């Protein structure tokens, strides 16, 4: 059975991750319910240049349903509507704070609250640097409530060469968290560095 995933896109830097994530989920056969915040739309437009947040293939896919950010009458606002999980990518500190506080005055934060209260998966791909103490406290609060904080921190051990490679490393890990098989991630294997690697100063 295919998965149904709610995806929120908020106004943090990193629209390239959202574009890849939505494309990878559709490619994996998931049904997507997409909500983009006003700042999410504006930041994506400024970062993606000529590219759209949704590729033409994704925009035309029957698997994609879009929802208005202010539509609190949407099915996503109710726990009676079945989804498997929600990912917010990228996630701002503003949306993190609202989720941590249990606020639900837009569809992204309301749907996030629904996923926490219904004990479904909630993954927040936070993007900020450095982090304020209050962000750290908010992350702990969401984590304690069952959410997963998955910061947008791609690893470099896969020797990424392009921005797309970096985005794949993060998107693949999000798919891992959702239980969706993928080959986007460079899987760590022990490198051949000799036996005295821990002996140095």
Ligand X SMILES: Cc1cc2nc3c(=O)[nH]c(=O)nc-3n(C[C@H](O)[C@H](O)[C@H](O)COP(=O)(O)O)c2cc1C
Q: Which residues bind ligand X (CB under 6 A)?
A: 10-13, 37, 39-40, 43, 46, 92-95, 127-128
How far apart are alpha carbons 82 and 124 in whole angstroms?
A: 19
Asked if 76 contacts 111 with a C-beta cutoff of 8 angstroms, the reply is yes
Closer Cβ to ligand X, 118 or 128, answer by number:
128
Q: How far apart are CA 124 and CA 138, in angstroms?
A: 11
| Residue of minimal Cβ distance to ligand X | 11
Q: Which is nearer to ligand X, 12 or 58 (CB)?
A: 12
Residue 43 or 142 having the CB closest to ligand X: 43
Q: Which residues contact 33 (CB under 8 A, 6 or more apart)?
A: 4, 5, 6, 7, 65, 66, 67, 76, 83
Instruction: Name the residue nearer to ligand X (CB basis): 21 or 180.
Output: 21
């Amino acid at each position: 059975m295919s998965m149904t995933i709610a995806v929120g896109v908020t106004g943090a830097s990193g629209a390239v991750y959202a574009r890849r994530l939505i494309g990878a989920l559709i490619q994996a056969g998931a049904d997507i319910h997409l909500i983009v915040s006003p700042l999410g739309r504006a930041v994506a437009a400024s970062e993606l240049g000529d590219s759209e947040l949704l590729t033409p293939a994704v925009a035309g896919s029957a698997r994609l349903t879009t929802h208005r950010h202010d539509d609190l009458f949407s099915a996503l606002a109710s726990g009676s509507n079945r989804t498997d999980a929600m990912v917010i990518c990228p996630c701002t500190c503003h949306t993190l704070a609202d989720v941590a506080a249990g606020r639900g005055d837009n569809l992204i934060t309301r749907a996030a609250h629904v996923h926490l209260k219904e004990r479904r998966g909630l993954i927040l791909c936070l993007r900020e640097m450095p982090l304020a103490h209050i962000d750290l406290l908010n992350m702990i609060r969401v984590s304690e409530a069952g959410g997963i904080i998955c910061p947008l921190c791609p690893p470099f051990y896969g020797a990424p060469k392009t921005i797309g490679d970096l985005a794949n490393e993060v998107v693949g890990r999000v798919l891992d968290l959702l239980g969706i098989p993928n080959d986007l991630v460079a899987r760590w294997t022990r490198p051949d560095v000799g036996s005295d690697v821990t002996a140095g100063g």
